[in-house]
Chain A
Amino acid sequence: MMEKKRGRKTMKDFDVDEGWLLHGGRGSSFLCITIFALLVRVMVSLHPYSGAGDAPKFGDYEAQRHWMEITLNIPAREWYHNGTSNDLSYWGLDYPPLTAYQSYVHALFIHYFHPESIALFTSRGHESPFGKLLMRWTVLSSDVLIFFPAVIYFFIAYYASRDKKQQDMAWHLAMILLGPCLILIDHGHFQYNCISLGLTIGAVGAIISKNELIACFLFSLALNHKQMSAYFAPAFFSHLLGKCLRHRNPLLRVLKLGLVVLGTFFLIWWPYLYSIDAVKEVLSRLAPFERGIYEDYVANFWCTTSVLIKWKRLFTTQLLKLFSLSATMLGVLPSMIQQIRAPSDQGFLYALLNSSFSFYLFSFQVHEKSILLPLLPASLLALEEPLLFRWLTYFALLSMFPLLCRDHLILPYVALFFLFVLIYYSPDGRLTVKRENSPVAWKKSVMTLLLLCSLLLHLMYVTLRPPVKYPFLFEAMIMLLSCSQFVILAVYSNMKQWMLLKSSTWMEKEKKVL
């Protein structure tokens, strides 16, 4: 009976113009995309992780494993405290408490099946196929339990008020779920970005569906999972402030939201609230200013300009902190002002992109992987800004190429890159790509040239040996190319956000005239 019903329903929904992949109702095509996204994650997880077999420090995999070992075996008060059983110089916890709780939950899971892989002291540098499998499954389950539902929640909220074609929606879903960068970092390199990014997407969905209190709660959780979520904080703050100001009782509204944020923080930080020193101890772990303004070759402003200006040599850390703070604030300011003046859903998404871009480019101690943060709002905007999203993905991948090379992840890198291009230009989603306002001829040729440069850099990095005098020549070139593109994209998206304001005020004027 049920089968028959379903059959009839699909008959009704049927539209001759749609491709067969999208037939069979919205549910089946979305389910296909979700299952495929999951499959790709599982397949990437077969590949090596960061620092595999690389004693004595290993990599992020060992860091996460070590945190599980620590959180399982010693009391919560001592997680951030240097002691006999917790040597902070060996991968000490440097994320907020929610990450520690997540490690604890995962440690319980792993302890049940394979206790020796997270035993105190003896498991340092533990590597085994079964241990790896269990660790991979903790990331997969986090993705399925947090990131996927969050994306679906966002989708329901985002498309509730929009009238979009099913093809476009399916394409958009595939773009978010199959973004190569996040998959490579989480399931290849080994991290749990899906949790903090998932919580952020959930918060965005809540804002769009006008559940501001839930949004505050979810974003506070995201902040407490990875402090990098603060890249989005200006956007959330300005958007919510702008909305509160339009409220009947602004002060009460601000108070409510503030209480939710404080309450969430209070709950999460509970084990450390017994003394100010304990809180300070945790905070000092979260902000490692002693590491300097940049590390390695990250494609942001400070590192790129250091080719000309030796920031680290010319200025003290104190001064550099001030520089980076003011530069970041200046970069964020325009989009914040726009959101306070005219908060809108679309503008909010652009604000998220702009503030995370500004943080990535100008803030203190940025890591290559932080490009995932601007990528998130860009993927949410993929339907409006297909070209921006494609371009950002290409160069985000390029900027992380040296990192992924070190992890021996070239094969999944290549596979996921082609998968992304194929899905972007999928036969069913072509309507969307057509909307990628086809640029004028000279722009097109410049873009082709840039892509060729990127391809060449990939090849050079893998095959050639850099000159002895400049051992990091290729890294520097990759950084220069990526950074230039990020700056252009950041300027463009800022302009777009302000154009929204103009068009909306223009429309308001029109309405008044009518």
Chain B
Amino acid sequence: MEELAWFAGIATCVKLLLIPSYRSTDFEVHRNWLALTSSLSLSNWYSDETSQWTLDYPPLFAYFEKFLSIFARLVDPKIVNLHQGLNYSADSHLFAVAAPVYFVYLLRHYCRGGFVRSIGRFVMMGMAVGVVFAVAFGPFLYYGQIQQVIHRMFPFGRGLCHAYWAPNFWVFYIILDKGLAFLLAKLGFNIQAPAASFTGGLVGDSSPFAVLPRVTPLATFMLVIVAISPCLFKAWRNPRSGMITRWVAYAYTCGFLFGWHVHEKASLHFVIPLAIVAIQRLEDAKLYFVLSIVSCYSMFPLLFEAKEYPIKVLLLLLHSLLMWSGFTSQFNKNSSSKTKAEPVQRGKSDAKMAKGRKTDEDGGVFVVGWFGTSYLLGLLGIEIWGQFLQPYLLGGEKLPFLPLMLVSIYCGLGMVYSWFWQLRWIIKCS
């Protein structure tokens, strides 16, 4: 507990020091929302178009901004940058992806034993959810704005990819399309260059793809549902509390991989729950070690300013080092205490193992392995290419998007691997 508070304190100091670098677009976005929620009446929140950064998070977030804006007005406008750290504490439409899992789990968990009781519980639960939603969306419904709210929250009007390509499944789809178009053109087919861009959204009826079929929001939605289904099935069959984190993480991963207009930042939603899983099993820890580095690295293009460069690199280095020493101590302690304790007091060590929820038998030490190591070294190679070699060899103007594309593709490989691995584990584990 004391250690936890200590780390929280250190992290707070680091965040305090980082305040001057908060003037990002996101800062501007949030500042605009603050101004919006504090100066306009509720009925206009979702229809204001004065700035390009329109409000596109659900109502709870809008209330949160309103809440902050009260303080902002009281103290000093400058104090408000502090809320950047809270960025993730309140965004909720991304959580919609995980909702089915929670729902099935809760349903099954609560509704066991007795049909009447289960119905009662179900109604109670439904009411709880309903009340939250009613409080959140109610005022907008009252003002007849609900269409506007839903339109803003699910940005199907935007493109398949965010301005920076998130490293997900669609990156490979796009690359495949480009590759095929190139090949077919070489073979003599007449391939028309697509009129629309991937990030620009659905401009008229033109498809951004040259060869492959066009991806619609509905298709991405269906793919996400299909990808989540094994996990939903498992949750329905056997709702175990020990697995809920893993399932939620998996659902987020699916949403990230196959979703429409996914942002790189969304990978945090499954990396954080996976961290909780990681300390329980050695195999998960190994996977998490690589995955969290990949996820962190995939966000590098977001912090593009030169003054931020050393910070992000050092933070990632420090993060990996701490993770490495944390995992080695966690698992090597377990394995060494097991070997030490075994001859004399077996019972005690068993109790310790049970307490640590350590289920695997191998009891190995934490090593990243040659596969993970070479993958991470590749990451280093891509960074060196993008930052130093390409500007030096090709000059600043040629192929400006190549480094970003490389980052997306390479990180996408890691993400897909992680997804596949999680899926295998979920299917295997009964």
Chain A interface residues toward B at CB < 8 A: 3-4, 6-8, 10-11, 14, 16, 19-21, 23-24, 28-29, 31-32, 35-36, 38-40, 42-44, 46-47, 129-130, 133, 136, 140, 411-412, 414-416, 418-419, 422-423, 426-427
Contacts and interface: CB of A to CB of B under 8 A. Distances in A.
A7 B367 contact: yes
A32 B368 contact: no
Contact of A24 (B12, B13, B325): B325
B13 A47 contact: no
Interface stretch (B41-49, B328-336, B411-419): B328-336
B325 A20 contact: yes
A28 B321 contact: yes
A20 B330 contact: yes
B370 A35 contact: no
Interface string B1-39: 011001001101110111111000000000000000000
Interface of B: 2-3, 6, 9-10, 12-14, 16-21, 306-307, 310-311, 314-315, 317-318, 321-322, 324-326, 328-330, 332-333, 336-337, 365-370, 373
Contacts of B10: 419, 422-423
Contacts of A414: 16
A42 B314 contact: yes
Given A6-B367, A419-B10, 10 more contacts: A3-B373, A7-B366, A7-B367, A16-B336, A16-B337, A20-B326, A24-B329, A39-B314, A422-B9, A422-B13
A102 B223 CA distance: 61
A35 B325 contact: no
Contacts of A38: 310, 314
Contacts, number: 114
B336 A31 contact: no
A28 B365 CA distance: 16
B16 A35 contact: no
Chain A binding surface SS class: helix
B325 A43 contact: no
B310 A7 contact: no
A47 to B, nearest CB: 6
B321 A39 contact: no
Contact of A35 (B20, B317, B330): B317
Given A11-B332, A427-B3, A411 B19 contact: yes
A412 B306 CA distance: 21
| Residue among A11, A36, A414 facing the most chain B CB atoms (10 A cut-off) | A36
A11 B20 contact: no
A422 B6 contact: yes
Contact of B18 (A11, A24, A35, A43): A43
A326 B362 CA distance: 73
A46 B21 contact: yes
Contact of A415 (B17, B329, B330, B332): B17
A35 B366 contact: no
Contacts of A8: 365
A383 B3 CA distance: 22
A14 B310 contact: no
Contacts of A11: 332, 336, 365
A10 B329 CA distance: 9
Contacts of B307: 46, 129, 133, 136
B368 A412 contact: no
Contacts of B322: 21, 32
27 contacts: A3-B369, A3-B373, A4-B367, A7-B328, A7-B365, A11-B332, A11-B365, A14-B333, A16-B333, A21-B322, A21-B325, A28-B325, A32-B318, A32-B325, A35-B318, A39-B318, A46-B18, A46-B307, A47-B20, A136-B307, A411-B17, A412-B17, A414-B16, A415-B13, A422-B6, A427-B3, A427-B6
B359 to A, nearest CB: 21
Contacts of A23: 325, 328-329, 332-333
Contacts of A10: 328, 332, 365
Nearest to A48: B20
B17 A46 contact: yes
Contacts of A411: 16-17, 19
Contacts of A16: 333, 336-337
Contacts of B306: 130, 133
Contacts of B333: 14, 16, 20, 23
A95 to B, nearest CB: 27
Contacts of B365: 7-8, 10-11
Contacts of B328: 7, 10, 23-24
Given A35-B317, A422-B10, A14 B16 contact: no
A3 B368 contact: yes
Query: Which 5 A-B pairs have CB atoms at the shortest separation, nearest pair first?
Result: A23-B329, A24-B325, A20-B329, A43-B17, A415-B16
Contacts of B20: 46-47
B16 A39 contact: no
B296 to A, nearest CB: 14
B178 to A, nearest CB: 35
A371 to B, nearest CB: 22
A39 B313 CA distance: 9
Nearest to A133: B307
Contacts of A423: 10
Nearest to B10: A422
B6 to A, nearest CB: 6
Contacts of B329: 14, 20, 23-24
Nearest to B18: A43
Contacts of A32: 318, 321-322, 325
Nearest to A10: B328
Contacts of A140: 310
Contacts of A418: 9, 12-13
